[in-house]
Chains A and B, each alone.
Chain A
Amino acid sequence: MTELSAHLPQFQHGQLTENFPDTHLSNTNDNSERRRHDNSERRRNDNAESETNGQPQSNVQQVVEQDEEEDEELTLKYGAKHVIMLFVPVTLCMVVVVATIKSVSFYTRKDGQLIYTPFTEDTETVGQRALNSILNAAIMISVIIVMTILLVVLYKYRCYKVIHGWLIISSLLLLFFFSFIYLGEVFKTYNVAMDYITVALMIWNFGVVGMICIHWKGPLRLQQAYLIMISALMALVFIKYLPEWTAWLILAVISVYDLIAVLCPKGPLRMLVETAQERNETLFPALIYSSTMIWLVNMAEEDPEAQRKSKNSTSDKQAPASRTQNEDAEADDGGFSQEWQQQRDNRIGPIESTPESRAAVQALPSNSQTSEDPEERGVKLGLGDFIFYSVLVGKASATASGDWNTTLACFVAILIGLCLTLLLLAIFKKALPALPISITFGLVFYFATDNLVQPFMDQLAFHQFYI
């Protein structure tokens, strides 16, 4: 475990900051890109969607409050299906994390803490424990802020190679080392006898295919599955190594930071997004979950419009930068920001990652069918969002006295928060952080269910009342 701790700081530095900015970025960049793209693409998307789907898809709530402008109406239609496109991966990630927490005892065992949270929570007094957890959270958040600022600085001064190397190292660590540990613990839990050669073969294959899928190109579903898996692995690491009060405090502070960093004019993530937009680059690949790649890779024949559209944007990028499109980046940037997608089309493609990373990450098929047809834009969500949602639900299932009731309540709360965030995105059409609403709901429901609802439900079940 000490080895793990030794590796973790470095890893987490990379992964955290990448994820955090990614979280914000995916929202902000996605949003800004969406903003740009949405203006044109969303309309096309909406049109296309309404045509292809046969019925307008709109968010359920407060649809009436939308303007009657054509833009507004069309953007609102970009709703229900994309909400579900995000519900499914978020649910899958949470299910993986909760299933692991419930079965593999390794991730609920206290084996020390990370160096980012040096203060222990095994203190004599409650006050001391509270103080320690506040200090831990403060240190962790400072680390995250520093790494985010470092990332923005690197990006601003075009140190793309450094960023790209950082990303590669993080992915390597996650895909090989953490999954090896995970596999080992699962084998221990189920008492499966295994030899090193088989394990080496499995991990090697898993890791290499993961690197290829995430950083280069691969089938959309496979890439999505890998992103979900690495988010789950990261969340499990957090659940294991963050002490309780620290974890809750960090979740709360991270949502506030997300809000500030994405919405304030001088927020690092916002600056990152704007810089990326100025340069017409995509943000960091492999840190954003996307759902639009499928059109490009899997359903090219079935949905030529989507393909053409994506290729359009990608080809636009390719033209100036001679970079192959990152299907991931393309698809990743779908997400909340429909505007972004539209803008991206307008401007030659999403601006997120460095040119090298984009080139290295994905080489889109060269068949660039120029298409101005509105495509069904996919949704994008940063992996940091996945990670923190899963941390919340995983912690709820690990430590709650209410157990499954609390887990279920947090799960529903997070999904509703996601739905509301998407609705706000449709209304405001700008970069939005995905963490605050969901994490707030999740925290409120966790503490309320654990302390209020659980005793009530216990008494009801004791007397076999049904309400």
Chain B
Amino acid sequence: MTLAVFFGCTFIAFGPAFGLFIFTIARDPLRIIILIAGAFFWLVSLLLSSLIWFIAVKASDPQDERLQKGLLIFGVMFSVLLQEAFRFLYYKLLRKAIEGLVALSEDGCSPISIQQMAYVAGVGFGLMSGAFSMINLLADALGPGTVGIHGDSQLYFLTSAFMTMVLIFLHTFWGILFFHGCEHRRWWEITAVVIMHLTVSGLVYGAEQAPSQDPEALQDVPIPSHPSPPLPSWRQDRASPSLQYLFSWTGGPWPALVGQALGSICGSQPTSVAETGSLQRPFGSLHKTPQFWGTQLCWPCCELSPS
């Protein structure tokens, strides 16, 4: 891990966003303020949604795994809806701000247009969302360790970094679309944004159902059981939960989805892949679980050259 992974994942996750920031936002103080305020609005929405989730969790039985999972799904959906609600509130605030800016300006036009504000607000939401998803992961990536040493995905950091980058871009685009929809009273745009957001956040849930669809492929896979193995000594003073999921066997949403698609298309291919002995070695126990996109990418190759 250490520096190479840290820098690689940082630049994958935040490189494009920082490029956008430096070249389009950093020069104008007004845009920086809008960015920070956008980040603040996202933060407040997250706070409220995690409050609701926390209350729900505390009021429920902690032993019931399915219930906890269901509550988490509910928390995610509620958080998405709250984020979009706060995006709307932010739109209202920025509209008022534009009126004020116009009133204060000398030539009657605002120094910044609503479209630019929409873009900056989207970047603000995205950066904060990405930072909250990724920062702890990056901090852990700096320390020693091996990703996927217990049979989990070795690409956890990488998939997280890519997913974060995607999320930042999506928030930016959603911001632009949302504000445009609000501006022109096109409610279908707004609902489209909300539905897209729900879809993207909900993909993981769908992806996590994927393993159960190929039971044969998973028969002889030693699935690491929860809870995660004991943390290495350098982590024990500060048990970061991030390492728990580092060792978890759930992959990202996309690999699972691809695996699902490929599995449904290719029928029994996973089983045949599992039976090809020589392919097992390079991937260890990974090749049998369809979540890991490294294996899925290799499925066609496996079929073509089964030796």
Residues in chain A within 8 A of chain B (CB atoms): 50, 55-66, 68, 73, 76-77, 80-81, 83-84, 87, 403-405, 408-409, 412-413, 415-416, 419, 445, 448-449, 451-453, 455-467
* Contact pick for B200, options A65, A80, A412, A466, CB 8 Å: A466
Known: A66-B104, A463-B245, A466-B164. 4 other contacts (CB 8 A): A80-B30, A87-B36, A403-B139, A467-B46
Given known contacts A412-B43, A456-B75, A465 and B131 CB-to-CB distance under 8 angstroms = no
Q: B233-273: contact bitstring with A at CB < 8 Å (1 yes, 0 no)?
A: 00000101110110010111100000000000000000000
Using CB atoms, name the residue of chain B closest to A58: B104
Min CB distance A387 to B, Å, is 22
- Report Cα–Cα, A58/B33, bound state, in Å: 11
B241: chain A residues at CB < 8 Å are 458, 461-462
Q: Which residues of A contact B128 (CB under 8 A)?
A: 408, 412
Q: Is the CB of A467 within 8 A of B83?
A: yes
Q: With A405-B135, A419-B33 as known contacts, state yes or no: A64 contacts B99, CB within 8 Å.
A: yes
Q: Is the CB of A76 within 8 A of B104?
A: yes
13 contacts between A and B (CB under 8 A): A60-B101, A64-B96, A404-B136, A412-B43, A416-B37, A445-B47, A452-B47, A453-B47, A461-B136, A464-B204, A464-B245, A467-B76, A467-B201
Q: Is the CB of B101 within 8 A of A56?
A: yes
Given A448-B51, A464-B245, A467-B79: A63 and B101 interface contact (C-beta under 8 Å)? yes
* B154 sits at the interface (CB 8 A): no
Closest Cβ neighbor of A65 among chain B residues: B100
- Contact residues, B22-64 vs A (CB, 8 A): 29-30, 32-34, 36-37, 39-40, 43, 46-47, 49-51, 53-54, 57
CB neighbours of A403 from chain B (8 A): 136, 139, 238, 240
B242 CB contacts on chain A under 8 angstroms: 458, 461
Chain A contacts of B72 at CB under 8 A?
459-460, 463, 465
Interface of B is mostly: helix
Q: B282 interface residue, CB < 8 Å from A? A: no
Q: A158: shortest Cβ distance to chain B, in Å?
A: 41
Main secondary structure of the interface of A (DSSP, over half): helix
* B207: nearest chain-A partner, CB-CB: A464
- How near does chain A come to B52, taking the closest CB pair, in angstroms? 9
List CB contacts (< 8 Å) of B137-172 with chain A: 137, 139, 159-160, 163-164, 167
- Please state if B54 and A58 are interface contacts (CB–CB under 8 Å): no
| Chain B: CB-nearest residue to A457 | B132
| B-side contacts of A409, CB under 8 Å | 43
Q: B220 an interface residue at 8 Å Cβ cutoff? A: no
A51 to B104, CA, bound (A): 14
Shortest Cβ distance from A417 into B: residue: B40
Q: Which residues of B contact A73 (CB under 8 A)?
A: 103-104
Name the contact of B37 in the complex, choosing from A50, A60, A451 (C-beta under 8 A): A60
A64 pairs with B250, CB closer than 8 A: no
Known: A65-B100, A462-B248. A416 touches B106 (CB 8 A): no
Nearest-neighbor residue (CB-CB) of A405 within chain B = B132
Q: Name the B residues within 8 Å of A416 (CB-CB).
A: 36-37, 40
Tell yes or no: B189 within 8 A of A by CB. no
Q: Compute how far the CA of A461 lies from the CA of B132 in the bound complex, rounded to whole angstroms.
A: 10
The answer to whether B251 and A63 touch across the interface, beta carbons within 8 angstroms, is: no
Residue ID in chain B nearest A87 by CB atoms = B32
Residues of A within 8 A of B135 (CB): 404-405, 408
Closest CB pairs A-B (n = 4)? A63-B100, A456-B50, A55-B111, A64-B100
Smallest CB-CB separation from A419: which chain B residue? Answer: B33
Report the Cα distance A65→B75, complex, angstroms.
37
- B129's nearest neighbour on chain A, judged by CB, is A467
Q: How far is the CB of A239 from chain B (nearest CB, A)?
A: 17
Report the Cα distance A259→B96, complex, angstroms: 29
Which A residues are CB-close (under 8 A) to B94? 60
Contacts of B104 in A (CB 8 A): 56, 58, 63, 66, 73, 76-77
Q: How far is the CA of A62 from the CA of B205 in the complex (A)?
A: 41
Decide if B103 touches A466 in the complex (CB within 8 Å).
Answer: no
A463 to chain B, nearest CB (A): 6
| B80 in the interface (beta carbon within 8 A) | yes
Bound-state Cα–Cα, A408 to B103, Å: 34
Compute how far the CA of A70 lies from the CA of B200 in the bound complex, rounded to whole angstroms. 49
Q: Assess whether B40 is in contact with A412, with CB atoms less than 8 Å apart.
A: yes
Q: Which residues of B contact A460 (CB under 8 A)?
A: 72, 76, 133
Q: Does B97 contact A (CB under 8 A)?
A: yes
What A residues does B131 contact at CB under 8 A?
408
Question: Which residues from chain B contact A65 at a C-beta distance below 8 Å?
Answer: 100
Q: In the complex, what residue of chain B is closest to A77 when comparing beta carbons?
A: B104
**Chain A proximity of B212: nearest CB distance (Å):** 15
For A453, what are the chain B residues with a Cβ–Cβ distance below 8 Å?
46-47, 50, 132
B190 to chain A, nearest CB (A): 18
Q: Is B93 an interface residue (CB 8 A)?
A: yes
CB distance from A362 to the nearest CB of B (A): 28
Whether B76 contacts A60 by the Cβ 8 Å rule is no
Q: Which of B55-109 contact A (CB under 8 A)?
A: 57, 69, 72, 75-76, 79-80, 83, 93-94, 96-97, 99-101, 103-106
Of all chain B residues, which has the CB nearest A453? B50
Chain B residue nearest to A82 (CB atoms) is B29
Known A60-B94, A448-B47; judge A466-B133 contact (CB<8 A): yes
Distance in angstroms between the alpha carbons of A457 and B252 in the assembled complex: 16
B33-A60 in contact (CB<8A): yes
Shortest distance from the beta carbon of B222 to any chain A beta carbon, whole Å: 20
| Complex contacts, B79 vs chain A, CB 8 Å | 467
Distance, CA A458 to CA B50, complexed state (A): 11
Q: Is the CB of A50 within 8 A of B106?
A: yes
B101 & A83 in contact (Cβ 8 Å cutoff)? no
Known: A73-B103, A456-B54. A57 touches B30 (CB 8 A): yes
- Verify A413–B139 contact, CB threshold 8 A: no
Assess whether A57 is in contact with B54, with CB atoms less than 8 Å apart: no
* Residue in A419, A445, A452, A464 whose CB lies within 8 Å of B51: A452
Measured CB to CB, the closest approach of chain A to B10, in angstroms, equals 13
